[in-house]
Structure 1
């Protein structure tokens, strides 16, 4: 090989190595940013403490009353949520089966939604009733229970709207 060809090969090799290093750094930085974004979404907003932290700040007597009332409410609403899950599972199974029946699936989904709303209504009504029995400072601390949360604790990102607006 001539000296010129060696210089070109060396320059190409250096350029390729620099490109590989840049691609690696970019990948690592992008992955770190994505992990930070996911972590930030899972974190509780700083303006509100986690519910269990709020509970520890309450007077022990009030804390016990709040816990027992919420537990009783959840146990009372459980059959509604169990029914909602069962109806939804049945609808999914029917949709995946050879005996597809659109009307039956729609009915099951409507029944599932109605059962879930019954359970949620019971929980919310009991929570409002409980809040009415608390002192203003305790009520302010515990009022966060009215935030709609998913299974993982995340708040519902949808803004609160009147029922009529949600239907549109």
Structure 2
């Protein structure tokens, strides 16, 4: 068996043990997600799967079932997730600093909350319960993925509107 797989399974076993209490969590949804999607994301961003899982575990600040979720780590290339090589590449995409609010459809100069001058005040937030209502821009940054292993969602940059 490959050392990387062994280390990956060892890290996963520790996550399961810490979360389990008296339950058997070997087939819990978060375990299935880790087994399926962490290796895919590791290949996508060019890192070892055990390094990615270790980085995620160091940053984890909630229960595994919440931390390892479809919102944080959807399947690569699913639901319009774009992977940028670097933060600089991402910044080129939204260089106008103009974003479409998914709620009021007005232009915001902030990517995470509506700053439009529309009346009544919109106040929509990309990080709220309903996110960007399926109208936002979902992306990951390859060269910082180990430090921040998640898919981000912001209001749609006007440069990407079709």
TM-score normalised per structure 1: 0.24
Tell me the TM-score normalized by structure 2: 0.24
The structure with the greater share of residues assigned to strand is 2
Greater Rg by CA: 1
In proportion to residue count, which structure has more helix? 1
